[in-house]
Amino acid sequence: MTAVALLIDRLDARLPQTQCRQCGYDGCRPYAAAMAEDGAPIDRCPPGGQAGVQALADVLDVPAPPLDLSRGRPVPLQVAVIDEAHCIGCTLCIQACPVDAIVGANKRMHTILPDVCTGCDLCVAPCPVDCISMVPAGRAWTADDAALGRQRHRAYLTRQQRARAAADVPVAPADDEAVDKKRAAIAQALAQARARREQRRP
């Protein structure tokens, strides 16, 4: 293993493994690689806080700068929660989750595994009916959580690679009528979910 690869491993081990992308990279390991290979700033990890900046500085043997608050502020651990009564089963949150902490199927209610959720917040924005919120986890992020986050993110990446490879296999042309029916069903579900939410608002 090269010296750079070893350095990436050491930096990655100091990152919280929430895979939140607030640093501007597609996860903790890409950020570690950017620091080791390209000299990316070490102050971009809000979940790690100032202690995390210091840990990275210790690895690189450089002074620790203040945390870059433009990337976000450190907050107590939060987890995502789905308002299951309004979930339309669109799977967009499942696709967004970097650690596969959301279970469900197309047109079926989804739910989030709180012990697996890293609090990355990446599932909130894609939800078309605004039924996902972040709530306090009521506990601290631990080294075991970080190890699980790293493991599950690697599994997620492997699954994504397989999906991309499968997408390269030629498939039969889509049935236009079936596609139109599917789009109409999704549009109807979205309209119904939005109407229900409007009724709940004061």
**Residue-wise pLDDT tens digits, 127-136:** 999 999 999 9
pLDDT category, 45, cuts 50, 70, 90? very high
Please check the confidence at residue 199 and state whether its pLDDT lies above 60.
Answer: yes
Domains of the chain: 3-71 (1.10.15.40), 76-202 (3.30.70.20)
Q: Residue 114, SS3?
A: coil
pTM of the model: 0.81
Element containing residue 163 per DSSP (H, E): helix 143-167
Distance CA 71, CA 150 (A): 21
pLDDT value for 69: 97
Does residue 50 or residue 84 have the better pLDDT?
50
Cα separation of 155 and 91, whole Å? Answer: 18
Contact 113, 102 (CB under 8 A): yes
